[in-house]
Structure 1
Amino acid sequence: MLMRYIETKSKCYPLYLGEEGLAALRSVYQQLQPTPSAVLVISDSSIAPLYMKQVTEALTSADVHTYVIPSGEKEKSFENYYAIQTYALEKGMDRRSVIIALGGGVIGDLAGFVAATFMRGIRFIQMPTTLLAHDSAVGGKVGINHPIGKNMIGAFYQPEAVIYHIPFLYTLPQEEWRSGYAEVIKHGVIGDAHLYDWLQKEILSLEDLRGEKLQYALQQAIAVKAKVVAADETESSVRAYLNFGHTLGHAIEAELGYGRLTHGDAVAMGMRFALLLSERIYDVDLASVAFAKWLFGYGYPKLPMELNIERLLLRMKQDKKAQSGEIRMVLLRGIADVCVEEVQDKVVLDALAQFIQTENL
């Protein structure tokens, strides 16, 4: 079992990664002070039937409640947030209670936001069950979606611990492996050239993400995330780098309707666009064509033809990094050489037109 600390300005907390995560959960829970008065495990309809019992049984001395929402990105909503708050109040939970987020990024974000705001903030533990959540579970970003934009309502609120029980991943469907792997690739591109090269050489298909290779990929990707979060907890500077591929990715998700594409598939599209735009702006060769071919080899889909570039532009202008209506993109001068650049609308539109054409040759 690997254990490392995630250090931020507001809190330092452990991350456990390995085959014995349930034992780590039991240990973390028993060491919490003050002793929790109750626990609320929040999960979704895909994960709860598989793993809820194992988690609640690991908390044998606790007063345990559970809440299950439907599965899907669209469920990261105000309605579910409010319903969980009501449930917690009805069960008599108080400021000494603890929330456990058992699920992927949707559950981690939603449950974390409930914890951040219930009675002005109670403790919570992240128990990610997807590859994708290696990114979202670390660093304390919690929140919900709004129809106008993704993750627009939320907070920075750090957990007590992140516990990655690797066996939880083995029942993931193929599309969820692909979705999570997009964020692993992102971490290599923005912060670890060695990891980027290693992925290209060692992960020839998604089936290679098992055993020691899976744990190594997660360990290195999390290390990139942890380093950035330690330097900038509240996204006032370099934490924006973690949004590489997300400006267009989030716009695509919102434009198509949450849940039609997985988050990782949308981010993969956003990364391909960001590389192409970087080449145009900085006059550098980032092998964007080879990068796209590499991603397509894993089964990442191409950009849907029905998307309108003017509507995508408007969505991108609603991105959290935008300032005074101007799009700010995370771009690359080279692998692991990142910057945030204000890009004029015409430049974005021209690049989007080229991107759509390139994607569908």
Structure 2
Amino acid sequence: MSVVSVGGDYDVVIESGCSTRVADVIGDGVRRALVVHPDSMRSLGEAVTASLRDTGIEAYAVGVPDAEDAKTAVVAADLWSLLGRHGFTRTDVVVGVGGGTVTDLAGFVAATWLRGVPVVQVPTTLLGMVDAAVGGKTGINTPEGKNLVGSFHPPRAVLCDVDVLATLPREDYVAGMAEIIKAGFIVDPVILDLVASDPEAAGRPDGPHTLELIERAIRVKADVVSQDLRESSLREILNYGHTFGHAIEQVEHYRRRHGEAVAIGMVFAAELAAAAGVLSVEVVARHREVLTSVGLPTAYEAGRWAELETAMRRDKKTRGDLLRFVVLEDVGRPVRLEGPTQEQLHTAYAAVSP
């Protein structure tokens, strides 16, 4: 078992079989628990619910749509209604069991019910473990963009049951690697070295470095968010690749996996940094080498710039009409690029849409 503390406020537990030990971390005084899970993970959601009932907690399991279809105001309102009907108070708890969309949704519902009740996150995907469930960001989508409605609400605990990773389709596991590789580029280059040492193994849950990669990525996020919970400055580096990546997701109506979009977004950010004269072509090439080595995409179709730019201008980092990107000066040296020129943007887009 590995335990990563997030600023001393809560722990992220990385362990086999920990998903049914939620009762150990919810704290005293909890009488009721709402276990939110995607429809595709009903069996695990019910197992978590049963484990809570075994300890005397009045637990309810509720299924929500899979993927980004869960992150809507309609689904959130249904959950609020359920909490009200069952009389949930501020000492009760919401439990999110699923991928990043479910942990985002469960966290948002917990943050907004009675202005905040505890939430325990049980991420079941690689992306959820190393990114979405850690850090206290919660949110839902609107037709205008991804995660535009949300709040900061740190969980009481995060339980990463590595056993469930074996059930993921390979494409989903590989997509989660994008967030791990991102952590390598912005802070911890050892991650890039571990991936490069055996790229094929890095793309599967039984690889020799799986646990170390997961723990290193979580430590990167934990260190950053413990210094900047509300994304006032440092935390923005965790959005590396996300401005362009979120735009891809939006114009494709969330049919593209988040990790795949972020992978392309990192290459776009690298090309943009090179066009602005702050990043070497060697580091740009390393982006493509590492990402493609595990099976992630690095290119996007041409002819969609107008849609993508419109989506990026609704990004949370945008200030007024000023586009802002997280870019690199080198591996481990993220900086902000504010107001890139149209020529630089078009150069970067042309480089990722050959």
TM-score normalized with structure 2 length: 0.94
Partner residue of 1:47?
Answer: 41
Partner residue of 2:6?
Answer: 6
1:89 is aligned to 2:76: no
Partner residue of 2:145?
Answer: 149
In the alignment, the residues of structure 2 paired with residue 354 and residue 98 of structure 1 have an alpha-carbon distance, to the nearest angstrom, of: 48
1:69 is aligned to 2:64: yes
Report the residue type matching 1:213 in the other structure: H
Per-residue CA deviations over 1:250-309 (Å, capped at 9, x if unaligned) read 011001111x10000000000011111112211523432343244233332354425511
1:276 is aligned to 2:271: yes
- Distance change >3 Å, CA 207–CA 305, structure 1 → 2: closer
Verify the 8 A CA contact 1:279 1:286 in the aligned structure 2.
no
Note the C-alpha offset of 1:198: 1.7
In the alignment, the residues of structure 2 paired with residue 341 and residue 278 of structure 1 have an alpha-carbon distance, to the nearest angstrom, of: 8
Verify the 8 A CA contact 1:101 1:111 in the aligned structure 2.
yes
In the alignment, the residues of structure 2 paired with residue 116 and residue 290 of structure 1 have an alpha-carbon distance, to the nearest angstrom, of: 39
Note the C-alpha offset of 1:205: 4.3
Partner residue of 2:118?
Answer: 123
For the residue of structure 2 that corresponds to 1:204, the secondary structure is helix
1:261 is aligned to 2:288: no
**Please, which runs of 5 or more residues in structure 2 have no aligned partner?**
none
- Distance change >3 Å, CA 348–CA 81, structure 1 → 2: farther
Note the C-alpha offset of 1:315: 1.2
Structure 1 runs (4+) deviating above 6 angstroms are none
Partner residue of 2:301?
Answer: 305
In the alignment, the residues of structure 2 paired with residue 307 and residue 37 of structure 1 have an alpha-carbon distance, to the nearest angstrom, of: 55
Partner residue of 1:346?
Answer: 342
Q: Which deviates further from its counterpart, 196-205 or 236-245?
A: 196-205
Note the C-alpha offset of 1:211: 5.7
In the alignment, the residues of structure 2 paired with residue 52 and residue 72 of structure 1 have an alpha-carbon distance, to the nearest angstrom, of: 16
- Cα RMSD over matched residues? 1.8
- Distance change >3 Å, CA 36–CA 255, structure 1 → 2: same
In the alignment, the residues of structure 2 paired with residue 23 and residue 83 of structure 1 have an alpha-carbon distance, to the nearest angstrom, of: 25
Partner residue of 2:94?
Answer: 99
In the alignment, the residues of structure 2 paired with residue 356 and residue 188 of structure 1 have an alpha-carbon distance, to the nearest angstrom, of: 21
Per-residue CA deviations over 1:183-235 (Å, capped at 9, x if unaligned) read 00000100101222222113334554426521111100001101111111110
Note the C-alpha offset of 1:26: 3.1
In the alignment, the residues of structure 2 paired with residue 307 and residue 255 of structure 1 have an alpha-carbon distance, to the nearest angstrom, of: 12
1:57 aligned residue (29, 50, 54): 50
In the alignment, the residues of structure 2 paired with residue 207 and residue 294 of structure 1 have an alpha-carbon distance, to the nearest angstrom, of: 11
For the residue of structure 1 that corresponds to 2:200, the secondary structure is coil
Partner residue of 2:238?
Answer: 242
In the alignment, the residues of structure 1 paired with residue 165 and residue 196 of structure 2 have an alpha-carbon distance, to the nearest angstrom, of: 22
Partner residue of 2:164?
Answer: 168
Verify the 8 A CA contact 1:309 1:349 in the aligned structure 2.
no
Report the residue type matching 1:27 in the other structure: D
Partner residue of 1:219?
Answer: 215
Verify the 8 A CA contact 2:194 2:209 in the aligned structure 1.
no
1:251 is aligned to 2:247: yes
In the alignment, the residues of structure 2 paired with residue 353 and residue 223 of structure 1 have an alpha-carbon distance, to the nearest angstrom, of: 32
In the alignment, the residues of structure 1 paired with residue 207 and residue 301 of structure 2 have an alpha-carbon distance, to the nearest angstrom, of: 38
Partner residue of 2:329?
Answer: 333
For the residue of structure 1 that corresponds to 2:12, the secondary structure is strand
In the alignment, the residues of structure 2 paired with residue 212 and residue 300 of structure 1 have an alpha-carbon distance, to the nearest angstrom, of: 20
Partner residue of 1:19?
Answer: 16
TM-score normalized with structure 1 length: 0.92
Aligned length: 350
In the alignment, the residues of structure 2 paired with residue 246 and residue 222 of structure 1 have an alpha-carbon distance, to the nearest angstrom, of: 18
In the alignment, the residues of structure 2 paired with residue 209 and residue 242 of structure 1 have an alpha-carbon distance, to the nearest angstrom, of: 23
For the residue of structure 1 that corresponds to 2:126, the secondary structure is coil
For the residue of structure 1 that corresponds to 2:281, the secondary structure is coil
Note the C-alpha offset of 1:103: 0.4
Q: Once the two structures are aligned, what percentage of the paired residues are identical?
A: 33
